[in-house]
Amino acid sequence: MTKTSEMMFEIKWESPIELRLAPRQRRYTWDRSNILMIPGVYIFGWMDGEKFKAIYVGKTIKMKQRINTHHEGDALMDRLIVMPNEPRVLFIGYVFPDGGTDKVRRKVLSIIEKALVRYYVAEGHDLHNSYGECIKKHTVKSKNAPRGLNASIFVEAKYDGPDGFI
């Protein structure tokens, strides 16, 4: 008999932060004064009417520090510039996992980040990684599939730098 375990993770989402195009610069800026230095996940994107379109999902142990590095990064800024609609927004969700070690926090954050990435890719969002590359989507169709076996499957993969796909 297999044992099934289930873990519930709670994310406390903050109000969306509107990104503003900085005068005479090819980058967006935002109010960083209320961002905390605690673990969480974050999503950059834009609003298409009432619908949110994600372009980047990230995780961090120190939110304020990580968000500040994105402000200086060119790949994400380039993606934000070419998005078709305003407003561009940043969603921040703080995560308070049980257990006090960074190892536990990193594991919880990785699980949540992967779940969010899979959700947005499955919904057809144009997600990109930190290098500005689009997350790959693949459809695999099989021939002569045995009865009861799904003839085609959808596979998603995220390129994670020099180590390859995860």
Domains identified in the chain, total number: 1
Question: Is 140 a member of any domain?
Answer: no
The pLDDT profile of the chain, 166 residues, written as one tens digit per residue, is: 555 556 667 889 999 999 998 877 778 888 888 999 999 999 999 888 888 899 899 999 999 999 988 877 778 888 888 887 789 999 999 987 655 677 888 888 998 998 898 888 888 888 887 656 666 554 555 555 555 555 544 444 443 433 333 3
pLDDT of residue 29: 86
Q: Would you put residue 151 in left (φ > 0), alpha (ψ -120 to 50) or beta?
A: alpha
Query: What residue numbers bound the domain in which 54 lies?
Result: 11-134
| Cα atoms found within 13 Å of the Cα of residue 35, Cβ hemisphere only | 22
Question: Is 74 a member of any domain?
Answer: yes
Question: Is 128 a member of any domain?
Answer: yes
pLDDT of residue 147: 59
Residue 21 CB partners (closer than 8 Å, separation 6+): 27, 28, 29
pLDDT of residue 164: 37
Question: How far is residue 119's CA from residue 121's CA, in Å, rounded to a whole number?
Answer: 6
Question: Is 75 a member of any domain?
Answer: yes
Three-state SS string over 11-22 comes to EEECCCEEEEEC
CATH number where 91 lies = 3.40.1440.10
Question: Is 101 a member of any domain?
Answer: yes
Question: Is 127 a member of any domain?
Answer: yes
